[in-house]
Amino acid sequence: MRTLITGGVKSGKSSYALVLARAFPAPRRFLATAQALDEEMREKIARHQAERGEDFVTVEEPLDIHERLAERMVLDCVPLWLNNMLYYGREAEVDRVVAELLRLLPADIVIVTNEVGLGFVPADPLSRRYGNSLGRVNAALAAACDRVVLMVAGLPLDVKRPA
């Protein structure tokens, strides 16, 4: 099943993604988009790796996520991928990569993203472009997925269920 998990920061998205993906038969894969650019991110990545344990084969890809898709995978996380695309000057490629990702989307995948648009409007143009772009990507992913889950305070709320 194709599942999109969205929610706020520290709402339990990644942990719940692992719970769902552990129901996939082995081998299970984890597509990590994060890069260890500072000490805080290195620590966060280490915590996530420890939480996954030996249950997943980790594939690291900060940019060309469509090229690394596989069955029985967790893709974590779309917001960091989008950040990477902007950081490396590849903003113009976002729509193309998303279109390819949707075309190649495996039957069994759990995708983690952050919910945007529930709070204030950012003051600077780059932040507004980022939020608008992530909102569009999330909408496209939600349309392509069988199930959409909103995490609130560690609780999964089904927004879209399989027909």
Give the burial class of 126: count Cβ atoms within 10 A of its Cβ; 0-12 exposed, 13-18 middle, 19 or more buried: exposed
Annotated catalytic residue within 13, 29, 48, 147: 48
48 labelled catalytic: yes
Q: What is the DSSP string of the chain?
A: -EEEEEESTTSSHHHHHHHHHTTSPSSEEEEE-----SHHHHHHHHHHHHHHGGGEEEEE-SS-GGGG--SSEEEE-HHHHHHHHHHTT-GGGHHHHHHHHHHT--SSEEEE----SSSPPPSSHHHHHHHHHHHHHHHHHHHH-SEEEEEETTEEEEEE---
Indicate which residues carry an active-site annotation: 48
